[in-house]
Amino acid sequence: MAIFFRQLQGHTFNGNLADLLAEQQRFRAQQFSGLMEIENSNSICIVVVLAKGETVNAYLLQEEARLPTVLLENLQRWEDATFSVRSLPLSDVATRLLWLALDSQPGPCFEIRGAKDWQDWLNACQDEHVTGVVEIHSEACDGFFYLHNGQRLENESIFALQENLYSQVPFQAESSPWKVRLNTPRPETLAWQSLHLRVGAGQWFWHTLNRYQRIAGQRLTQILTHHLLPTIREWDWEIGPSSNTLEDRHFFARPSLAAEAYRALFMKVGEQMGIVLGSQLAQRFLSQAFEQIPPGERSVLTSHRLLPAAFVD
């Protein structure tokens, strides 16, 4: 029954609603992110996405469409008392990309054969500044990655191959054709807002720290990022500030949760910059960096009140 990340084994069983809820409870207890694929005897399939044990959304798969749905309502309508379930804990990056793909408008599926075709297609995407989630299925590899104005985002890429997850495209590893689909994100969805928030916060962080490093030097910039670590550790966020980038590999179930995390981190950034450069210059550099973010990401940050003025005393 495996639909997504078929190369990964997961836990497959036949069970009823109670068994499904028990499995969800297991995810919650272990704070797993991942997916559950539930299929009845009529081959109707629902995919549930979980972030750190919390159910994010469920999707009814109908031919080419993925429709957001309420899991329990569907299960109650099904005549079968039991159904087959495949639960698969995944990395946060893999799960949130799957969420983004399921929340997007699926495009037509096409085949790519060989590395040359693949590179040609990527080049065409780059030329046309394509934005969307690319979904790949082949015998040996399933994967997703996000194209942002034609550029593949390294932190938003995941490929399942031989029971493992990779962030690099493992094209050379196999010879079978790839079924590729470009999913166009819907701006109104939470998955898209989460992504834009993540990208925007990352860019803001990068511009701010680069500017700070230019005036205060490498050592003080390292000290600044060092001061972010206790907050990150305390909340178990999978966020790594290194080399002036904010590598966010955490799956926040809602954009508001991500915004809270970024707010806490930018508070620390503002505080540390204020100690060294004074609040006026800290404010100025945060504002300058904010202006460098593309308008789309900036408006998502603004809508979550992530504004330069909020982070300096």
Partner 1 sequence: MQPSRSTYIKWGSAAISLIWLAVYVWFYRANPFGGPAYDYADNWGIDLLTFVPALAAAGMATLVALQYQPGEIPRRIWLTFAIGWWCWVGGEIAGMVYDYFYWDTAYPELTLIDLCWSAGYILFGLALFYQFRAIYAEEEKNSTYLYLTLCAAALILTLGLTYLARRSGLGEDVSAFALYLAILYPVFDLVEGGAALWLFLLFRRGKWGRPWWGLIAFAIADSISIYFWIGGDEALSQKTVDILYLFSDTTYVGAYLIVALAFLSHYYMLQWPPASPKPNRP
Residues at the site binding partner 1, with contacts judged by CB under 8 A: 211, 214-220, 222-223, 226-227, 230-231, 233-235, 260-261, 263-264, 267-268, 274-282, 288
Q: Provide, rounded to whole angstroms, the least separation between the CB of residue 298 and partner 1.
A: 18
Tokens standing for residue 90: 């995944």
CB-nearer residue toward partner 1: 218 or 242: 218
- Report the alpha-carbon distance of residue 14 to residue 278 in Å, rounded: 62
DSSP secondary structure letter of residue 81? S
Q: Decide: helix, strand or coil at residue 171.
A: helix
Minimum CB separation of residue 296 from partner 1 in Å reads 22
Contact criterion met (CB below 8 Å) for 11 and 95: no
Q: Which is nearer to partner 1, 87 or 283 (CB)?
A: 283
Contact present, 307 and 301 (Cβ < 8 Å): yes
CB of 128 to partner 1, least distance (A): 30
- Closest separation in Å from C-beta 231 to partner 1: 5
What residue spans of the chain are helical by DSSP H?
Answer: 17-30, 71-77, 92-102, 114-127, 190-226, 229-234, 255-277, 279-291, 295-303
Instruction: Classify residue 75 as left (phi > 0), alpha (psi -120 to 50) or beta.
Output: alpha
Q: Which is nearer to partner 1, 113 or 214 (CB)?
A: 214
Nearer to partner 1, 164 or 288 (CB): 288
Which amino acid appears at position 180 of this protein?
V
Please identify, using beta-carbon distances, which residue of 12 and 288 lies nearer to partner 1: 288
Nearest approach, Cβ of 301 to partner 1 (angstroms)? 16
> Residue 175 or 288: which CB sits closer to partner 1?
288
Tokens of 251: 């799956």
Q: Is the dihedral of CA 297, 303, 308, 313 positive or negative?
A: negative
52, 54, 56, 60: CA torsion to nearest 10: 110
Rounded CA separation 128/280 (Å): 41
Q: Return the number of the residue (117 or 271) whose C-beta is nearest partner 1.
A: 271
Chain CA centroid to CA 149, Å? 17
Shortest Cβ distance from residue 305 to partner 1 (Å)? 13
